[in-house]
A = this chain, B = another copy of it.
């Protein structure tokens, strides 16, 4: 049989996917599985967004502009203005989800073999995008003891080589939930300016901040040409399946380059652009309502976790994830055991082992990520399961 390419072989598989067969086995036994493993919100997509697609009079579903419909980009300017971010519509390229924007940004700014520094633990798919773009991720470790705060700038500077082209952050962070402070963002600004680096900023969770507000990389005044922003409507409006995101940059050369990638793939999804455009007309209190739901869940999860003996969970400032330390030997083994060998009152839970979010070998072994995308009643049930599981897990370590 003809073999795939080396990169096809080296392309990382989803770190969560290997648990799916075990979840299916648990379900086939009649066990209810609480899914805390993926960032698929349970919040309804605003009905007005769905309705906009139903109301649209589409005769020929034609290619849109490669940068996305002009009407949508012009309305997005208003969304950003409200978020305290000044951009023009011709600095926005609508992409197929945030994913495509990240790949285009990596390709347009970095060559094969170039390096990008990313605080770990980080969103696992960044590794896949780096394989696609042929670039190398240099991890800089953040620690649960500091709540996953930005590592000191001196640590970043030790990692910079002639191959380093940028720093990539996710703020508020997936998987840690950490919200970078204004001071931390300005430290990143300093280092990017001093070392002539791009600052790639994935701000998918901008609205979901519970202690303070997020500082966008686009608000850093001294490095407008260094910033490449990755956006998505997936989490913001609970519209993950739409596949609409955006790449935003004020750097004209980068914009022109990304446009060539965008033209090659012709256009972003057409129906979903109609849906996304309708999101801009949601009432101003839309985010308050969803944020209040997530805040209450965050508080519940953190409180429940920290009450369990041997468990430590920092209180993250944003997104809808926590990474928690558990008294266990190995997160991968534990998460599989939860599905394969454990149940409590006919229930169990599916978690994401944190090892998949680190690239430094051995890190995160006793940590798991929890996505609080289920309601408080279910969270309580899931936490009951976890509490009980930790009592009986054979690999418990104190």
A residues near B (Cβ < 8 Å) are 1-9, 11-14, 17, 38, 40-45, 50, 53-54, 58-64, 96-97, 99-100, 103, 107-112, 114, 125, 128-129, 132, 134, 165, 196, 198, 225-226, 238-243, 251-254, 256-258, 260-261, 263-272, 275
CB-CB under 8 A from A1, the residues of chain B are 225, 251-253
Q: From residue A293, how far is it (CB to closest CB) to chain B in Å?
A: 14
CB-CB under 8 A from A268, the residues of chain B are 243
Q: Are A108 and B62 in contact (CB under 8 A)?
A: no
Q: From residue A48, how far is it (CB to closest CB) to chain B in Å?
A: 13
Q: From residue A346, how far is it (CB to closest CB) to chain B in Å?
A: 25
Q: Are A265 and B2 in contact (CB under 8 A)?
A: no
Q: Are B271 and A61 in contact (CB under 8 A)?
A: no
Q: What are 8 residue pairs bridging A and B, where the CB atoms are less than 8 Å apart in the complex?
A: A2-B198, A2-B254, A4-B253, A5-B111, A103-B265, A125-B263, A125-B264, A128-B263
Q: From residue A94, how far is it (CB to closest CB) to chain B in Å?
A: 12
Q: Are A264 and B128 in contact (CB under 8 A)?
A: yes
Q: Are A45 and B59 in contact (CB under 8 A)?
A: yes
Q: From residue A179, how far is it (CB to closest CB) to chain B in Å?
A: 24
CB-CB under 8 A from A50, the residues of chain B are 58, 61
Q: Are B109 and A8 in contact (CB under 8 A)?
A: yes
CB-CB under 8 A from A110, the residues of chain B are 5
Per the bound structure, the CA–CA distance linking A257 and B99 in Å amounts to: 18
Q: Are A17 and B111 in contact (CB under 8 A)?
A: no
Given contacts A2-B196, A269-B271, A271-B271, 10 further A-B pairs with CB under 8 A are A3-B253, A4-B256, A6-B111, A8-B107, A42-B60, A44-B60, A45-B59, A61-B275, A125-B266, A132-B132
